[in-house]
Structure 1
Amino acid sequence: MNILILGSGGREHAFAWKMVQSPLCDTLFVAPGNAGTAQIATNLPIAVNDAEAIAKAIQEHHIDLLVVGPEEPLVKGLVNTLRQKKKLANLKIVGPDQQGAQLEGSKDFSKQFMQRYGIPTATSRTFTAETLQEGLAYVDAHSLPIVLKADGLAAGKGVVIAETLDEARTVLTDMLTGGRFGEAGSKVVVEQFLRGIELSVFVLTDGQNYKILPEAKDYKRIGEGDTGPNTGGMGAVSPVKFATPKFLQKVEEKVVKPTLAGLQKEGIRYQGFIFIGLMNVKDEPCVIEYNARMGDPETEVVLPRIQNDLVELMVATADGELDRIQLQVSPQTAVTTVVVSGGYPDAYEKGKAISDLETLEDVTAFHAGTTPGSNGHVLTSGGRVLALTAVANSLENAVMKSQKAARTVQFDGKYYRKDIGLDLIRFPD
């Protein structure tokens, strides 16, 4: 079959890498893709939000299966637009429609959804510019630290953990009246800070049936020891030592099942991935957020552990037949280290030549922010440039191989965290 993946990051390169291994995959396209996807698929110069160009490409290239990688086209209703086109009636799509994508597109929607269906989450209230004074009073009466979240999409950076009341008041005011985070911050969710250990659980659902994919822990902050500003993710590990079978059973019973039951009750036929950001609070799961797609860089450690044919999984999801698939997961550990451009997550330069990629051993280099240059060179084109994934029989070996690759690859201004996975190595058995 002919397959189109939408997106240009490490997540999409990982999807492409896994899909081209399938005998069901005849021709693979990625739009717009990157230098890594160009090596294994055909890149199409189409923006992920250009619904008409995407529809045209689907017809021109006789696409049978569409997998939507990033959240923005989902939240903007791409799936709805494609579903309305009679010529695309037979297209299989993995990705929720606009209503389902509101789980990620609106923090306020997702918090109210969790409250409706008894899904454990932090206490919270939502405020707008009109209710700013109420919000400031709520902040003043709240314990510290306090979490402020822009309601809409903010590229993974719309969350502030305020350590002081002054900071919380300033941030809330800036979001609601000063344009911080733009339209995404026109509503702000103010919520309780949860103390625990964070992890991500991924669910693939066809609207009725579901599979719980391997869990992962990612490292959001730019600095070692989890310091500095949030990023899109500096690395990830799967499996997660503290996610015991008993804890994951609680996740399934208290979070996954009521989430899917709630979607069905509200008439939302959700076919795709649900990324559940969790806090393990004294061995109890508490939901921080939902995302309507796979995480990045978590995908780069989750997919290498899935032993099934990914195309077969995607087709079963689109056809409502996930119940016939037996998920098979490798017991090995996967670790990815993300190599970023100097200055990220703030201003950074692009167009730096990347060298020594061809010398990497025992890792898979997933391209995140790259573009093909002249004479076969690969150039940086984003803040997060490469996700270097190693799979090994132990966490220690996987960390060692991934970090060695991060040291090896070179470009001007390169930076990476040297402590990815070390907290889990030190975590008590």
Structure 2
Amino acid sequence: MNILILGSGGRECTFAWKLAQSAKCGALFIAPGNAGTLEYGTNLAINPNDFEQVKKAVLDHNIKMVIVGPEDPLVLGVHDFFLNDSDLKGVPVIGPQKYAAQLEGSKEFAKEFMYRHNIPTAQYKSFTVANLEEGYEFLDSLKPPYVLKADGLAAGKGVLILNDLNEAKKELEEMLAQQKFGAASSKVVIEEFLDGIEMSSFVLTDSENYVILPNAKDYKRIGEGDVGLNTGGMGAISPVPFADEEFLSKVEERVIVPTVEGLKKDNIPYVGFIFIGLIKVNNEPFVIEYNVRMGDPETEVVIPRIESDFVELLSATADKKLDSFNLKVMDKSTTTVMMVSGGYPEAYDKGMEIKGLENVNDSIVFHAGTKLDGTTVKTSGGRVLAVTSYGDDFEKALKQSYQNIEKIHFDKMNFRKDIGFDLK
């Protein structure tokens, strides 16, 4: 079948790599894609949020399945657009409808869902500029650190964790009254801080059944030792060493099952990936957040561990047959290290020539922020490349990734040299 992937990052490059391995994959299209996705399919210069352009591409290229990579098209309702269009309604979309996408699009919606279905999470309250003073009072009632979350989508940067009460109040005022994160922070969720270690669980559901994908742990901060500004992610590891069988059983019983069943009880159809951000507190799982798509860079370590045919897996999802799908996952560890532009996540330059990609051995380079200029690969974003490796354990896999990073160069490139530092 002909398949269309919406998106242009490392996640979509990984999807393309995996789909292209399937005998069931016909022509593969990525919109808009990047320099790396060209190795696996055809890039289409269209905006994934322009649904009329997407429709034209689906009809022009006889697309039989659409996989939505990023959150924006889902929150904007791309799946609903397909269901409501007579020409498109027979084309399956892997990714939830608009109402369900609020699990990521609105922190308040997600929190209310968790409370309604007794899913363990931190205590919280929501505030707007109209009750800013109540927000200050709620902060007074909490112990530091203080967690402030923009309710809407803020490209992974709308969460602040602050130790100083006055600074927390100042940031709350900037988020609500001065729209620090634009419309995303017109409402802010303040929640209690949970002290533990984070990881992510990934589920694929067809609305009735689910399969649990490999788990992962990513590293969000720009600086080594997890300091500095939040990024979209600087690296990831799978599986998570501290997530033993007992803990993962708790995750399934207390989080995954109530989430899937809660969607059914609320009559919310959901076909696609659920990313569950977790924190382990005294060996108990708590949900930090939901995302309604795969994570990035977690995809770059989760998908390479899946041995099953990816087209068959997604077809079973579209056909509501996941209950009979036997997901095969390899025992090996995978790690990925992100190479980013100098200055990221703040201002950075684009258009730097990337050299040495042809010298990489025994690692997979997934492109994120890259473009092809003639025959030259150049940087086009903050996160540029993800170098993924396999190993008998995560330390061996990391060693391989770092060895290959030494062979790649672009001006002002940066990467964290301590991925996995807290797991040793």
1:396 is matched with 395
Where 1:323 maps in the other structure, the secondary structure is helix
Deviation of the 1:127 alpha carbon: 0.3
1:356 is matched with 356
Amino acid at match of 1:312: E
1:297 is matched with 297
1:57 is matched with 57
Unaligned 5+ segments in structure 2 are: none
2:237 is matched with 237
1:411 is matched with 410
What are the residue-to-residue correspondences of 1:34-45 with 2, within 5 Å? Answer: 34-45=34-45
1:328 is matched with 328
**1:368 correspondence with 2:368:** yes
Amino acid at match of 1:273: F
2:87 is matched with 87
2:317 is matched with 317
Instruction: Find runs of 4+ consecutive structure 1 residues off by over 4 angstroms.
Output: none
Amino acid at match of 1:93: V
1:179 is matched with 179
Where 1:290 maps in the other structure, the secondary structure is strand
1:285 is matched with 285
**1:152 correspondence with 2:152:** yes
Deviation of the 1:53 alpha carbon: 0.5
Deviation of the 1:8 alpha carbon: 0.1
Where 2:327 maps in the other structure, the secondary structure is coil
Deviation of the 1:407 alpha carbon: 2.1
1:250 is matched with 250
2:384 is matched with 385
Where 2:111 maps in the other structure, the secondary structure is helix
Where 1:98 maps in the other structure, the secondary structure is coil
Structure 2: how far apart are the matches of 1:91 and 1:114? 31
What are the residue-to-residue correspondences of 1:85-234 with 2, within 5 Å? Answer: 85-234=85-234
Amino acid at match of 1:212: I
Structure 1: how far apart are the matches of 2:45 and 2:286? 40
Note the alpha carbon deviations across 1:269-308, whole angstroms, 9 max, x for none: 1000000000000110000000000000000000010000
The TM-score normalised by the length of structure 2 is 0.99
2:267 is matched with 267
Determine if contact 1:24/1:311 at 8 Å carries over to the other structure: yes
Deviation of the 1:40 alpha carbon: 1.5
Deviation of the 1:408 alpha carbon: 1.8
Amino acid at match of 1:178: Q
Structure 2: how far apart are the matches of 1:373 and 1:333? 35
What RMSD over aligned residues (CA atoms) do the two structures have, in Å? 0.6
Note the alpha carbon deviations across 1:245-265, whole angstroms, 9 max, x for none: 110000000000111111111
What are the residue-to-residue correspondences of 1:336-351 with 2, within 5 Å? Answer: 336-351=336-351
Where 2:328 maps in the other structure, the secondary structure is coil
Note the alpha carbon deviations across 1:206-238, whole angstroms, 9 max, x for none: 001000100000000000000000000000000
User: In terms of mean alpha carbon deviation, does 315-324 or 29-38 score higher?
Assistant: 315-324
Note the alpha carbon deviations across 1:338-376, whole angstroms, 9 max, x for none: 0000000000000000000000011000000000012x2
Amino acid at match of 2:408: V
Where 2:338 maps in the other structure, the secondary structure is strand
Structure 2: how far apart are the matches of 1:393 and 1:126? 45
2:16 is matched with 16
Where 2:349 maps in the other structure, the secondary structure is coil
Deviation of the 1:422 alpha carbon: 2.9
Determine if contact 1:363/1:390 at 8 Å carries over to the other structure: yes
Where 1:75 maps in the other structure, the secondary structure is helix
Structure 2: how far apart are the matches of 1:219 and 1:89? 39
Q: How many residues align?
A: 424
Amino acid at match of 2:157: K
Where 2:12 maps in the other structure, the secondary structure is helix
Where 1:354 maps in the other structure, the secondary structure is coil
The TM-score normalised by the length of structure 1 is 0.98
Structure 2: how far apart are the matches of 1:92 and 1:78? 11
Deviation of the 1:89 alpha carbon: 2.5
Determine if contact 2:225/2:421 at 8 Å carries over to the other structure: no
Structure 1: how far apart are the matches of 2:294 and 2:287? 16
Where 2:215 maps in the other structure, the secondary structure is coil
Where 1:275 maps in the other structure, the secondary structure is strand
Where 2:157 maps in the other structure, the secondary structure is coil
Structure 2: how far apart are the matches of 1:137 and 1:19? 51
Deviation of the 1:193 alpha carbon: 0.7
Deviation of the 1:80 alpha carbon: 0.5
Note the alpha carbon deviations across 1:140-196, whole angstroms, 9 max, x for none: 221100100000000000000011001110110001001100000000000011100
Determine if contact 1:406/1:416 at 8 Å carries over to the other structure: no
Deviation of the 1:82 alpha carbon: 1.3
Amino acid at match of 2:195: R
Structure 1: how far apart are the matches of 2:245 and 2:121? 21
2:7 is matched with 7
Determine if contact 2:157/2:232 at 8 Å carries over to the other structure: yes
Where 1:274 maps in the other structure, the secondary structure is strand
Deviation of the 1:406 alpha carbon: 1.9
Structure 2: how far apart are the matches of 1:26 and 1:283? 45
Note the alpha carbon deviations across 1:290-337, whole angstroms, 9 max, x for none: 000000000000001000000111111111111121011100000000
Structure 2: how far apart are the matches of 1:73 and 1:98? 9
Where 1:126 maps in the other structure, the secondary structure is strand
Amino acid at match of 1:366: F
The share of aligned pairs that are identical, in percent, is 56
Determine if contact 1:335/1:421 at 8 Å carries over to the other structure: no
Deviation of the 1:23 alpha carbon: 0.4
Deviation of the 1:423 alpha carbon: 2.2
